[in-house]
Structure 1
Amino acid sequence: MQRICLFLMLPLLLASCATAPPSNVENACRIFREKPDWFDASLTVEQKYGLPIQVQLAIMRQESSFRHNAAPPRDSFLGIPMWWRVSSAYGYAQVKDETWDWYKDRTGNWGADRDDYDDAVDFMGWYADVSQKTLGISKWDAYNQYLAYHEGHGGWQRKTYNSKGWLVSVARKVDANARMYGEQLRSCRHSLKSSPWWWPF
């Protein structure tokens, strides 16, 4: 009976491990050794769109702390929490409903989910590609890529971030983390392995 229960619970335990944030978000090598399927997805995005893996990680860390179901706080009325949230942003990449619909429409990736790491990093690569083509922002420029990611392409063009000192500080933090992750990956990238065939089943 115990063996049957463990067998039935195994898929749930594996799914929980698959969606849990990395145990150490300060080290890119440890992130990918803990989650080899993430490395596969990020490498695919880097090859497909040219967005460096370290920039992907730095932006995702800032947006969701690598939580698959991250969401903004609930709105409140007269100090009473309401059932709706202050924004429709959701998932690893904290993408709003309308932006996610735009991505799916342009890429044809209609089955994409914001709480799926593969889809989230594919969105980030696609969005950075649009930023580079329309705004001329290098995909290696984590600072400006993040500002365009946060403010939208129109906001970046209007330089709306100049009136938001806190956002400029955050963008500098994203840039610093991207540089840190890049240095770490240089020492371990060659040894990172693809995810095993059974993951996450």
Structure 2
Amino acid sequence: MKTKLFLISGTFSAALLLAGCSTPPPQNSSNLCDIFKEHRAWYKAAANTRDKWGVPIHVPMSMMFQESSFRHNARPPMRYFLGFIPYGRASSAYGYSQAKTETWADYQRETNRRFASRGNFADAIDFMGWYMDKTYRINGVSKWDAYNQYLNYHEGWGGFQRGTYRNKTWLISVARRVDDRAQMYATQLASCEKELQRGWFRRLIGF
């Protein structure tokens, strides 16, 4: 009997884990309040990242939208030789944060989170908080500066120092869009964060 209960419990836990990793993208990615109301656990994870790394919620959320459109299994498109022979992807980027394998390994080692997964939202946004904090410490970029934070995120700390983005007009345009979205998200969050902070019971009774 105990063995059966253990198996059932293990199966149920595995199902919950898989379900958490395959959360569908929010229906309205243009409104941060709608995103967090649809995925309440995401707000808690984002708030934990804010408290842990000192990053405002709207900045990593805007960067994450740009990187993956909030898809847990996002990755660069496959490249094809002669138009039909696949020969690999442009990079090892994967998941919500589009973290590359080697950078993710650095994060796991430095934070002692070896079981963190790029396909898990809470882990992915914690990674982004870690990266933004290092951007601030290495290159002196404010954690509120979505434009330059994104350029660091895309080009790497060394690339940003060398100014590799300066001749990439397309990247500068993308960074501006990230900044615009971050400002929009900040305004939206200010209007609903008190409601998001209420527990499920208080929401249920309308208090």
User: TM-score range with shorter-chain normalisation?
Assistant: 0.7 to 0.9
Report the secondary structure of 1:82's partner residue: strand
Count of residues paired in the alignment: 187
* TM-score for the superposition, normalised by structure 2: 0.85
Report the secondary structure of 1:30's partner residue: helix
Task: Supply the RMSD in Å over aligned alpha carbons.
Answer: 2.1
CA contact (8 A) 1:68 1:91 kept: yes
CA contact (8 A) 2:21 2:120 kept: no
Deviations along 1:100-130, one digit per CA (max 9) or x if unpaired, are: 1111111111001000000000000000000
Higher mean C-alpha displacement, 17-26 vs 42-51: 17-26
Counterpart residue type for residue 99 of structure 1: T
Counterpart residue type for residue 177 of structure 1: R
- Please show how residues 182-197 of structure 1 align to structure 2 within 5 Å: 182-193=186-197
- What is the alpha-carbon distance in structure 2 between the residues aligned to residue 139 and residue 16 of structure 1? 28
CA contact (8 A) 1:39 1:194 kept: no
Give yes or no for the alignment of 1:92 onto 2:88: no
Q: Residue in 2 aligned with 1:42?
A: 46
Q: Residue in 1 aligned with 2:113?
A: 109
CA contact (8 A) 1:74 1:81 kept: no
- What is the alpha-carbon distance in structure 2 between the residues aligned to residue 21 and residue 157 of structure 1? 34
Shift of 1:15: 2.3
- What is the alpha-carbon distance in structure 1 between the residues aligned to residue 194 and residue 174 of structure 2? 30
Q: Residue in 1 aligned with 2:9?
A: none
Shift of 1:89: 0.3
Unaligned 5+ runs, structure 1: 1-7
Report the secondary structure of 2:193's partner residue: helix
Q: Residue in 1 aligned with 2:142?
A: 138
Shift of 1:196: 5.7
* TM-score for the superposition, normalised by structure 1: 0.88
CA contact (8 A) 1:37 1:195 kept: no
Shift of 1:27: 0.4
Give yes or no for the alignment of 1:71 onto 2:75: yes
Deviations along 1:134-177, one digit per CA (max 9) or x if unpaired, are: 10000000000000000000000001000100000000000000
Check 1:195–1:25 CA distance in 2 against 1; reply closer, same or farther (3 A cut).
Answer: farther
Unaligned 5+ runs, structure 2: 1-11, 202-207
Check 1:80–1:31 CA distance in 2 against 1; reply closer, same or farther (3 A cut).
Answer: same
Report the secondary structure of 2:65's partner residue: helix
- Please show how residues 127-166 of structure 1 align to structure 2 within 5 Å: 127-166=131-170
* Percentage of pairs with the same residue: 52
